Amino acid sequence: MAGAFETGKYRNVFAEYGYPEAEIQRRVEQTFETIFYGNEEERFYHEVGADMAYIEDTGNHDVRTEGMSYGMMACVQMNRREEFDRLWKWTRTYMYIEDGPCKNYFAWSCATDGSKNAEGPAPDGEEYFAMALFFAADRWGNGTGIFHYADEARAILRECIHKGEPGHPGEPMWDTSRHLIKFITNCNFSDPSYHLPHFYELFARWADEDDREFWRDAAEASRAYLHLACHPDTGLSAEYAEYDGTPHEGHQEIFGRHDWYYSDAYRTIANIAMDWLWFGRDPWQQEIAGKLQSFYCEKQSGHWDGVFLTDGTLLRERALHPVAVIAVNAEASLAAKGENAKECIRRFWETPLRTGERRYYDNFLYLFAMLALSGNYRIY
């Protein structure tokens, strides 16, 4: 199937299922406005001075490259340049690492006053920063300095794959022999939800010319990796996984348990669905999205707030982010079809944004699902 990159057409799945166009657009706008400008129990965007702002992870009370890059992506999709520039300036002012082995990366966590909580990066932040910056360049045009968005994006990608080479001390964010993204730079395993082949396809067109072949290979390697990381019967992936796709059971004394379908992992099916929407290269993506929806709608219809092993075994724990589960199950309808897709859309449409301490992660995944399913998550 030709994807939106080739056709320029973005499905409005809500409209396909009969929801009114005006109400769909209202919900998209309302979701963004609530996250950025709602009351204290709703928003997590905070302006600082005349020209900066940060996104707070309300569950951990810090600022993360994940959230800052998500906020920038939301802003470029919603055509909100002022908020985008505020977030990017805060990121470059406080999160940018000036020296040492992680020079030119971004500290993955900072306090809300800008002081660094970490000395190293998290690769999912860097790849989202780069993509958001490229889109900003195409949607608004480049400025100067840190606001020459395309130059900043290319610089990020250059560091991600060339560290460890002469003149580039440190560790790269990709296992460059496998073309697979790492969980963190100094670990030899991955996180399935970090794999964004639909981004890498675009990096292969817009990154430094000498690196474009690497990104083409990375797109194909990540698609192949997701086949391994998603269970063939349930569609579920682990939070962390080995390079052969098996759940990562080690390092629990450092990171805790991550061999199950839990918070990070929810993003995996959303990313698969977005790759299908934009590029339509891998029909397996339709199949696996359908299997995940079947798992939830037919086999575990009463346990959407459950925690599972990738084979579908229900554990005693409960999801920390149940609204995120509903959001990504709906976003899977970009690839899946049938009654389960319709049911997942219905559940999402009828679910409000989350309030309270844990709202940050749930509501970002909610916003991205709302954008994607309404035809508003686009390539620029």
CATH topology of domain 1-23+35-42+222-380: Glycosyltransferase (1.50.10)
pLDDT, one tens digit per residue, over 14-58 is 999 999 999 999 999 999 999 999 999 999 999 999 999 999 999
- Name the burial class of residue 15, with classes exposed (0-12), middle (13-18) and buried (19+) by CB atoms within 10 angstroms of its CB: middle
**What's the rounded Cα separation, in Å, for the pair 366 and 326?**
8
- Candidates 57, 66, 259, 343; catalytic one: 66
What tokens appear for 227 in the block?
């086949």
**What's the rounded Cα separation, in Å, for the pair 5 and 279?**
6
Residues comprising the chain, all counted: 380
Burial 35-44 (b: 16+ CB within 10 A, else e): bbebeeebbb
Nearest Cα residue to 241 out of 277, 231, 92, 102 = 231
- State the amino acid at position 353 in one-letter form: L
Burial 65-103 (b: 16+ CB within 10 A, else e): bbbbbbbbbbbbbbebbebbbbbbbbbbebbebeeeebe
The per-residue pLDDT of the chain, averaged, comes to 97
What tokens appear for 89 in the block?
């300036």
| pLDDT value of residue 1 | 80
The domain locations on the chain are 1-23+35-42+222-380
What tokens appear for 287 in the block?
């199949």
What tokens appear for 328 in the block?
């990504």
At 109 the three-state DSSP class reads: strand
Is residue 353 over pLDDT 90? Answer: yes
**What's the rounded Cα separation, in Å, for the pair 136 and 130?**
10
| pLDDT value of residue 159 | 97
Q: What is the mean pLDDT of residues 63-82?
A: 98
| pLDDT value of residue 172 | 98
317 is catalytic: no
| pLDDT value of residue 128 | 98
- Candidates 127, 211, 264, 331; catalytic one: 264
Q: pTM here?
A: 0.98
Q: What is the mean pLDDT of residues 199-224?
A: 98
> How far is residue 374 from each of residues 117, 164, 271, measured CA to CA in Å?
37, 42, 16
Residue written as token pair 């959303």:
270
- State the amino acid at position 279 in one-letter form: F
| pLDDT value of residue 319 | 98
H or E element at residue 224: helix 212-229
DSSP class of residue 181? E
**What's the rounded Cα separation, in Å, for the pair 21 and 182?**
40
| pLDDT value of residue 168 | 85
pLDDT, one tens digit per residue, over 297-315 is 999 999 999 999 999 999 9
Model confidence at 269, pLDDT cuts 50, 70, 90, reads: very high
264 is catalytic: yes
pLDDT, one tens digit per residue, over 141-194 is 999 999 999 999 999 999 999 999 998 899 999 999 999 999 999 999 999 999
| pLDDT value of residue 167 | 83
| pLDDT value of residue 175 | 97
Model confidence at 343, pLDDT cuts 50, 70, 90, reads: very high
Which residues lie closer than 8 Å to 234 by C-beta, 6 or more apart? 291, 292, 295, 308, 310, 311, 312
H or E element at residue 274: helix 266-278
**What's the rounded Cα separation, in Å, for the pair 133 and 81?**
11
**What's the rounded Cα separation, in Å, for the pair 238 and 369?**
21
Share of the chain above pLDDT 90, in %: 98
> How far is residue 242 from each of residues 37, 151, 179, 183, 248, measured CA to CA in Å?
40, 33, 14, 10, 6
Is residue 375 over pLDDT 90? Answer: yes
Is residue 254 over pLDDT 90? Answer: no
Could you give the angle at the alpha carbon of 68 between the alpha carbons of 11 and 292, nearest 5°? 45
Nearest Cα residue to 106 out of 77, 136, 72, 63 = 63
| pLDDT value of residue 165 | 93
Which range (54-58, 221-225, 250-254, 368-372) has the least confidence? 250-254
